[in-house]
Amino acid sequence: MTAGSTLSVTIVLQDPPEFYREVILRGSLRIKDDEGIFRDDVRTYPVYHDGIFLGPFSTHAEQYHSQGHGGEMRVEVRVAIDWAYPGNLKGSVNVRFFEGWSEDTDDLKNEKTVTFQVTRDVTETVQVHVQSIGFGGVDTGDLTLEIVNNIRP
């Protein structure tokens, strides 16, 4: 370059890579159908969602999981996640317990919501217990959910 001349340079500015997060939800949902004097129907179902990408330009995501059990009950899980500077997460887990004549019932018996915060590169565990007290006994749903806050690959 010579004195008195100019040179154009393009500089592309980007947020630091650690701002961009991949959230992974993994855990289990244990549902118990209390059969009174008969043998209880207890099963554990996996809950898994990956590829949830959040960052400065996509700051909110929701995931939904529904699990029927025993032909008469259903547990629904809704996870709402918000990105916060500089890559931390906050949100809520809502669990709803339905019981009636079929797994498609709209008869809501119990509902709980818990909030969470997960800093960058950390995994937090959320546990939610819901129950329905009915004719047969105490039917329950127990969610254990790990929320993983990874740097986006």
C-alpha closest to that of 141 among 33, 56, 53, 62: 33
H or E stretch including 147?
strand 138-151
pLDDT tens digits, one per residue of 74-126: 999 999 999 999 999 999 999 999 999 999 999 999 999 999 999 999 999 99
Average pLDDT over residues 17-45: 92
pLDDT tens digits, one per residue of 70-85: 999 999 999 999 999 9
Q: Where are the alpha helices (DSSP H) in the chain?
A: none
Pairing of strands 21-33, 73-84: unpaired
Using pLDDT thresholds of 50, 70 and 90, give the confidence band for residue 135.
low
Residue 138 has which token pair?
A: 């105490």
Cα–Cα distance, 68 to 43 (Å, whole number): 11
**Could you tell me how many residues make up the chain?**
153
